[in-house]
């Protein structure tokens, strides 16, 4: 008979195994879709008839190093000018960001509106401030470090032809992937997350969550939901869960692309992911009620929201594995089965990620799989950040919406029109 530590280990490993086993088919579906799909760049001109009006919201706080290139990219969008408006929310900048935005507005009279918030209360508050002033059928949100493709609005229109679609998440790519080893790895992570994981969820009609930028909403739905939760640290995940609860559909759009800056240091990555994980955990607590309306999409939403907790559980298995070097586990069929099955699922997951990297890079390169050995180290770092996030929740530490500092780093070769 096993004593408590081994029973606890069995339960934790079973939790990790079940979560991983559930997500494996989603990755496989995403990879299969990647193999079948070839993106077609539209080069035709766009007429006015039947096209929706877009309100493009840009929250800005101390983004002087990057906001200029975003505003320049917005001026080059291949979409009727009279059917777009740009709303810049200046949120208490102290670095000259406002001057850059004012200059852009003067060059685009009548199309650009600058709103100034007297008090900075975080990104969700800035977004709500702008939504009240928006007149478009579709609300587009871009962070200040983004550089959207010229066809981003043209390509997203077709997804909203389905009246059931309330929101769309575009593909985000790294604009500075060649800066250092960390940014290269994050770029690969972003590729797999978008193209395989979110792509798989979209193909299987499951819960596609929003990522905070290059995201699009029907304005009437956003207003019906009363905008973003200003207390949420992960306002994108919170609004995603609220959309799911309301029965709305979110699509992932691989051909709706925007480049953004990846964290270039471990410190910057830690601060970013700490906010993400804590925010997602709080959303998980808040929306545990999703299964009161049983559906496959709601169940998938719950599985997605417990992701940070799975990372913590996986961290405990690392310690348990280390412990076995000093005291072997007693033989137990169920425990041995879970351990071996977990290893098999982990191997299959890595293989799926490897194939996703090959098929999602342009041009396709088999050497992308050489990044796979680093995944375990990266997962370990993520697990420690998740653990720290749950400690902050348990200790009821202040919930501050800390923005990720941007440096303006860019590799022009990364951006493909």
Question: pLDDT (tens digit, 9 = 90+) per residue, 4-18?
Answer: 666 777 788 788 888
pLDDT for the residue numbered 331: 55
pLDDT for the residue numbered 126: 93
Pair 187, 174: CB distance under 8 Å: yes
Helices 97-107, 67-74: axis angle to 10 degrees equals 20
The position carrying tokens 């777009």 is: 84
How far is it, in rounded angstroms, from Cα 94 to Cα 70?
19
Pair 295, 216: CB distance under 8 Å: no
- Of the two residues 98 and 84, the one the predictor is more confident about is 84
In the chain, where are the structural domains located?
A: 1-40+49-56+135-417
**Measured distance between the N- and C-terminal CA atoms of the chain, rounded to whole angstroms:** 63
How far is it, in rounded angstroms, from Cα 194 to Cα 192?
6
Q: Which helix (H) or strand (E) holds 280?
A: helix 266-286
Quickly state the pLDDT bin for 417 (edges 50, 70, 90).
very low
Give the range among 41-45, 132-136, 147-151 with minimum mean pLDDT.
41-45
pLDDT for the residue numbered 391: 94
Q: Is the pLDDT of residue 43 over 50?
A: no
- Whole-structure pTM value: 0.88
């Amino acid at each position: 008979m096993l004593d408590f530590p081994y029973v606890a280990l069995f339960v934790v490993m079973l939790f990790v195994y079940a979560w991983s086993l559930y997500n494996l088919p989603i990755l496989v579906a995403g990879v299969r879709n990647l193999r079948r799909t070839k993106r077609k760049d539209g080069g035709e001109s766009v007429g006015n008839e039947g096209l929706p009006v877009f309100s493009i919201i840009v929250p800005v706080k101390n983004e002087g190093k990057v906001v200029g290139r975003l505003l320049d990219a917005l001026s080059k969008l291949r979409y009727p000018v009279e059917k777009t408006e740009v709303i810049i929310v200046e949120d208490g900048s102290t670095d000259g960001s406002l001057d850059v935005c004012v200059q852009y507005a003067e060059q685009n009279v009548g199309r650009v509106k600058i709103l100034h918030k007297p008090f900075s209360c975080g990104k969700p508050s800035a977004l709500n401030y702008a939504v009240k002033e928006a007149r478009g059928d579709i609300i587009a949100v871009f962070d200040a470090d983004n550089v959207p493709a010229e066809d981003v609005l043209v390509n997203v229109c077709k997804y909203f032809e389905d009246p059931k679609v309330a929101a769309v998440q575009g593909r985000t790519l790294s604009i500075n992937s060649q800066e250092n080893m960390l940014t290269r790895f994050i770029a690969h992570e972003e590729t797999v997350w978008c193209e395989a994981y979110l792509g798989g969820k979209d193909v299987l009609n499951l819960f596609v969550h929003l990522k905070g930028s290059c995201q699009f909403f029907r304005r009437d739905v956003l207003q019906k939901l009363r905008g973003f939760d200003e207390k949420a640290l992960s306002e994108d995940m919170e609004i995603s869960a609220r959309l799911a609860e309301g029965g709305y559909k979110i699509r992932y759009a691989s051909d709706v692309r925007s480049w953004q800056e990846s964290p270039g240091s471990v410190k910057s990555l830690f601060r970013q992911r700490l906010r993400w994980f804590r925010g997602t955990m709080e959303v998980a607590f808040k929306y545990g009620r999703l299964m009161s309306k049983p559906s496959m999409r709601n169940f998938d939403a719950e599985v997605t929201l417990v992701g940070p907790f799975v990372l913590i559980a996986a961290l405990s298995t690392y310690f348990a594995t280390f412990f076995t070097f000093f005291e072997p586990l007693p033989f137990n069929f169920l425990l041995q089965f879970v351990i071996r099955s977990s290893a098999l699922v982990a191997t299959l997951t890595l293989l799926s990620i490897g194939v996703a990297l090959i098929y999602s890079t342009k041009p396709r390169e088999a050497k992308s799989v050489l990044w796979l050995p680093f995944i375990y180290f990266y997962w370990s770092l993520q697990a420690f950040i998740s653990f720290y996030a749950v400690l902050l929740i348990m200790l009821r530490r202040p919930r501050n919406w800390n923005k990720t500092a941007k440096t303006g780093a860019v590799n022009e070769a990364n951006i493909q029109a």
